[in-house]
Amino acid sequence: MSSRNALFGLIILAALLLPGAASAQMVTFIKIIDGDSLLVEAGGRSMEVRLIGVDAPEFKQEYGLQAKEFSLKFCFGHKLRLEFDKELVDRYGRVLAYVHRGDKMLNREILEAGLAIAVRIKPNIRRYAAFKAAEQLAVGKKHGFWKQGGLRMTPAQWRKAHPQKRRD
């Protein structure tokens, strides 16, 4: 993401989180990028959102398409609510959030479906224990990629083995 877009993301977030702003930020879904990233619209501008606490297979990785389709089905046609943690933006300028649709949270739902793994990335660790429990539920019920015992490579290992230049 360009530094201009990253700056815009920070400005939007600052406006959303100013004193007096609503505690829940409603956004409009635009599209799914992959299982753990989506594009939303807030304040007339689009921004990329990265799910906190989960790592889904990359699009070209095994189960990557299933993870992307799961997130699309969760989000399509719905208003979404973003909930933030301590760190608001990652090094790529993506907004870091827990993504809610009504009383369901995409971050937890994709873990329970066995289409992502729980990851602990400080300082956004408030829900890590619950996410690890959701992952263990999927393991026990053999949901998603857990029916084959897991992924051959974690998404992080796959990205390292298949480097790709990020688009700005």
User: What pTM was computed for the model?
Assistant: 0.86
For this structure, is 69 an active site residue?
A: no
Q: Which of the residues 48, 81, 94, 108 is marked catalytic?
A: 94
pLDDT score recorded for residue 166: 57
For this structure, is 62 an active site residue?
A: no
User: CA dihedral in degrees (76, 82, 85, 89; nearest 10)?
Assistant: 80
Q: What is the pLDDT of residues 8-49, one digit of tens each?
A: 455 455 545 444 443 459 999 999 999 999 999 999 999 999
User: 144-156: b or e for each residue (b if 16 or more CB lie within 10 Å)?
Assistant: bbbeeeebebebe
What gap in Å lies between CA 144 and CA 148, rounded to an integer? Answer: 8
Q: What is the pLDDT of residues 102-125, one digit of tens each?
A: 999 999 999 999 999 999 999 999
Q: Which of the residues 50, 81, 108, 127 is marked catalytic?
A: 50
User: 31-61: b or e for each residue (b if 16 or more CB lie within 10 Å)?
Assistant: ebbbbbbbbbebeeebbbbbbbbbbbbbeeb
Q: Which of the residues 58, 109, 112, 135 is marked catalytic?
A: 58
Q: Sign of the C-alpha dihedral, residues 159, 64, 95, 8?
A: positive
